[in-house]
Structure 1
Amino acid sequence: MKDYIVRATAGDGQIRAFAATTGNLVEEARKRHDTSPVATAALGRLLTAGAMMGGMMKNETDVLTLQIKGDGPLGGITVTADAKGDVKGYVDHPEAMMPPKNGKLDVGGAVGIGLLNVIKDMGLKEPYVGQTILQTSEIAEDLTYYFATSEQVPSSVGLGVLMNKDNTVHCAGGFIVQVMPFISDEVLDKLEENIKKISSVTSMLDNGHTPEQMLEQVLDGLNVEFADTMDTQFKCNCSHERIEKAIISIGKKDIQEMIDDGKEVEVKCHFCNTAYTFSVEELKQILKQAKR
Structure 2
Amino acid sequence: MADQLVRATAADGGIRCVGAITTRLTEEVRQRHKLSYVATAALGRTMCAGLLLASSMKKPESRVNIRVRGDGPLGGILVDAGLNGTVRGYVENPSVELPPNKIGKLDVGGAVGSNGFLYVIRDVGYGYPYSSTVELVSGEIGDDVTHYLVNSEQTPSALVLGVFVGADGVTAAGGLLLQVLPKAARDEELVATLESRLAGLSGFTPLLRKQKSLPAIFESLLGDLGLQILPGVQMLHFHCGCSWERLLGALKLLGSAELKDMIEKDGGAEATCEFCKDVFHADVSDLQRLIDDLKQESSVR
Which residue matches 2:194? 191
Which residue matches 1:130? 132
CA-based RMSD of the aligned residues comes to: 1.7
Q: Specify the SS of the correspondent of 2:230.
A: strand
Q: Specify the SS of the correspondent of 1:45.
A: helix
Which residue matches 2:151? 149
TM-score, normalisation: structure 2: 0.92
Counterparts of residues 98-247 of structure 1 (less than 5 Å): 98-102=98-102, 103-112=104-113, 113-166=115-168, 168-183=169-184, 184-228=187-231, 229-247=233-251
What amino acid does structure 2 have at the position aligned with 1:175? L
% identical equivalent positions: 40
C-alpha displacement at 1:88, in angstroms? 0.7
What amino acid does structure 1 have at the position aligned with 2:57? M
Which residue matches 1:61? 61
* Poorly superposed stretches of 4+, deviation over 4 Å: 288-292
1:187·1:222 contact (CA, 8 Å) conserved in 2?
no
What amino acid does structure 2 have at the position aligned with 1:124? Y
Distance of 1:214 and 1:252 partners within structure 2: 58
1:282 has 2:286 as partner: yes
Distance of 2:254 and 2:100 partners within structure 1: 42
TM-score, normalisation: structure 1: 0.94
Q: Specify the SS of the correspondent of 1:26.
A: helix
2:61·2:84 contact (CA, 8 Å) conserved in 1?
no
What amino acid does structure 2 have at the position aligned with 1:111? V
Distance of 1:262 and 1:189 partners within structure 2: 64
Which residue matches 2:7? 7
1:258·1:265 contact (CA, 8 Å) conserved in 2?
yes
Distance of 1:74 and 1:162 partners within structure 2: 18
Q: For residues 218-238 of structure 1, give each alpha carbon's deviation from its aligned partner in whole angstroms, at most 9, with x where no partner exists.
A: 324222110032110011111
C-alpha displacement at 1:285, in angstroms? 2.1
Distance of 2:147 and 2:43 partners within structure 1: 19
Contiguous gaps of at least 5 residues in structure 2: none
What amino acid does structure 1 have at the position aligned with 2:216? Q
Distance of 1:109 and 1:115 partners within structure 2: 15
Distance of 2:157 and 2:219 partners within structure 1: 17
C-alpha displacement at 1:99, in angstroms? 1.7
Contiguous gaps of at least 5 residues in structure 1: none
1:269 has 2:273 as partner: yes
Q: How many residues align?
A: 291
Distance of 2:293 and 2:57 partners within structure 1: 36
C-alpha displacement at 1:203, in angstroms? 1.5
Distance of 2:254 and 2:237 partners within structure 1: 31
